[in-house]
Amino acid sequence: MKYLFAGVVATLSMALLLGENNAGEKAKHTIPEVMAKAMKGGLCKKVATGKASDDEKKELVELFTSLTKNKPPMGDEKAWKKRTTALLEAAKKAAAGDAAGPKALGKLANCAACHKEHKG
């Protein structure tokens, strides 16, 4: 409950800070949703190993876009932004057919490292 409240407050102040151009643009998916589909569900791995279809690559970009817009239950927000933006950039490269994308994804999608810092 305490985390939830902190999250709501942070989300509200973020929305205020971001102002007009992001007005109404909330994350489409929650972090657990992204985890279930992209991480636990294996979509990220599929893209990282070059086995994903174009649609699946697009889906990963969408899921990681949400990830960057969410606030983690714990940890430094700047570190989170950096980590999730790197994941998003790698997914975008993969979707664009750049071989550097999948390669980077494999390294960046480090479950334990991110959970240690950000999973409440």
Question: Which residues contact ligand HEC (rule: CB under 6 A)?
Answer: 31-32, 35, 39-40, 72-73, 83-84, 87, 109-111, 114-115, 118-120
Let me know: does 69 contact 26? Beta carbons within 8 Å.
Answer: yes
| Nearest one of 74, 86, 67 to 118, comparing CA atoms | 74
Let me know: does 118 contact 73? Beta carbons within 8 Å.
Answer: yes
Q: Which is nearer to ligand HEC, 8 or 111 (CB)?
A: 111
Q: Which is nearer to ligand HEC, 21 or 101 (CB)?
A: 101
Q: Which is nearer to ligand HEC, 50 or 120 (CB)?
A: 120
